Amino acid sequence: MSHFTQIKYFEGCRSALGQMARVEATHTAAEAFRKDMLAGPKVKYHESFDLVKVPYPTRYGLRNAFAHEALVEYLHLQNRLFVVQFETSEGLKTLLVSPSDHERNGETPFFRRVQDKTPSLLVNLVVKRQSTVPKILKKIGLKPEDVDYITYDHLHTQDVRRWLGTATEKGLFPNAKLLVHRREWASTLDLNPYQADWYCPNGVAGIPEDKVIQFDGDIMLGEGVALIHTPGHTEGNHSIVVHTDEGIWVTSENGISVDAYMPHLSTAAGVADYAVITGTEVIINGNTLENSIDQYISMVQEKTIAGPSKRDPRFPNIFPSSEMTPFWAFRGTTPAFYVGKAKFGKLQRKKK
């Protein structure tokens, strides 16, 4: 699209042979990018909406750091939709970030197995379905035809056919296109068994080619919003970077809690001790472990771009796409910092 521009800050940052040299190079580039992003315009609107709370294994979400003596197999993840509006040379654009179709996403093989072997009463106790994407858009007065783009930091568990349509199913968002990193799209179409366990079967099958925009590297979508390639959790993982009055929000699932970006301050069982013992700066979300070295670098990159939170400057302004949330049944998983919700600006109706 003509209003997208390539971002050059991070080119070559991961080319050094030394692993920590790559971290430092990326950190330096992230500081420069953050400075210029803050000097630029803000988005017109950014708001988060709760979709569903689901269980997720602690051994993945807090990789190696969660204290095993706590005897808690799962933590609770709050999955959200983000609605973003921003100006471009082609006018106002509306972006849906992480519009999860959780009614279909349950067919992801890993979660299908968990659900099938768990009594339905227990499933209903732990899985909290709060709303759906269509209900949220109707509530805020956004019409399906007003959605220009949808994007996900990565395509784990996602089924996007309901939104974009196929030859046999009309898409709910007739004008929307999927923004996806070229590596993520290629991976989704050609998965090995370990990765396939986390992708929704046929989740992108039959989607018309003209409904998908693949990008390379890092791109600026318009005023105040960028997509930054942050590989690790998946090869094509990207972070959504949004400039608001609360500073720069950075959203992805490389980490499942703000605690994961400042682990020495974490109140989750064992995490702070693990950070001190190992000297780690971050705790990766490692269910697939496609590249833990890159994921470490990406999380440092994300928290550097985000900068300090205005809510608590000890923590970075990270807004995980799925955030570890307190739950009475999962002892030891309460984070020290919880974002919860954010709203900036006012939703604008497009001029006809």
Q: Write down the CATH superfamily of domain 5-327.
A: Ribonuclease Z/Hydroxyacylglutathione hydrolase-like (3.60.15.10)
pLDDT for position 278: 95
The pLDDT confidence band at residue 68, using thresholds 50, 70 and 90, is low
Q: Select from 259, 244, 265, 261 the least CA-distant residue to 301.
A: 261
Q: What distance, in Å, lies between the first and last C-alpha atoms of the chain?
A: 21
For residue 74, pLDDT over 80 is answered with yes
pLDDT for position 21: 97
pLDDT for position 39: 98
The pLDDT confidence band at residue 114, using thresholds 50, 70 and 90, is confident
For residue 227, pLDDT over 60 is answered with yes
What digits encode the pLDDT tens for the residues 286-335?
998 889 999 999 999 999 999 999 999 999 999 999 999 999 989 899 99
Pair 254, 54: CB distance under 8 Å: no
Q: What's the mean pLDDT in 75-83?
A: 96
Q: Give the Å distances, CA to CA, from 339 to 11, 95, 250, 308, 316.
A: 31, 21, 12, 13, 11
The pLDDT confidence band at residue 102, using thresholds 50, 70 and 90, is confident
The pLDDT confidence band at residue 3, using thresholds 50, 70 and 90, is confident
What digits encode the pLDDT tens for the residues 155-183?
999 999 999 999 999 999 999 999 999 99
182: its two tokens = 């070229």
Pair 258, 308: CB distance under 8 Å: no
φ, ψ for residue 221 (rounded to 5)?
Answer: -80, -35
CA distance 49 to 346: 14
Q: Select from 216, 178, 153 the least CA-distant residue to 95.
A: 178
φ, ψ for residue 253 (rounded to 5)?
Answer: -125, 20
Amino acid present at 120: S
**Angle at the Cα of 269 from the Cα atoms of 72 and 300, rounded to 5 degrees:** 115
Pair 142, 87: CB distance under 8 Å: no
Look at the alpha carbons of 8, 255, 49, 210 in this order and tell me if their dihedral is positive or negative.
Answer: positive
What's the pTM?
Answer: 0.95
Q: What's the mean pLDDT in 40-49?
A: 98
pLDDT for position 116: 82
pLDDT for position 352: 57
For residue 92, pLDDT over 90 is answered with yes
264: its two tokens = 């020495």
Which residues does 53 contact at the CB level (< 8 Å), separation at least 6?
Answer: 76, 77, 78, 79, 127, 128, 130, 325, 327
Q: Select from 2, 10, 7, 5 the least CA-distant residue to 301.
A: 10
The pLDDT confidence band at residue 71, using thresholds 50, 70 and 90, is low
CA distance 202 to 177: 18
The 3-state DSSP class for residue 122 equals helix
CA distance 9 to 28: 9
Pair 238, 244: CB distance under 8 Å: no
For residue 1, pLDDT over 60 is answered with no
Q: What angle do the packed helices 19-39 and 292-306 form, to 10 degrees?
A: 30
N residues, the chain:
352
What digits encode the pLDDT tens for the residues 249-272?
999 999 999 999 999 999 999 999
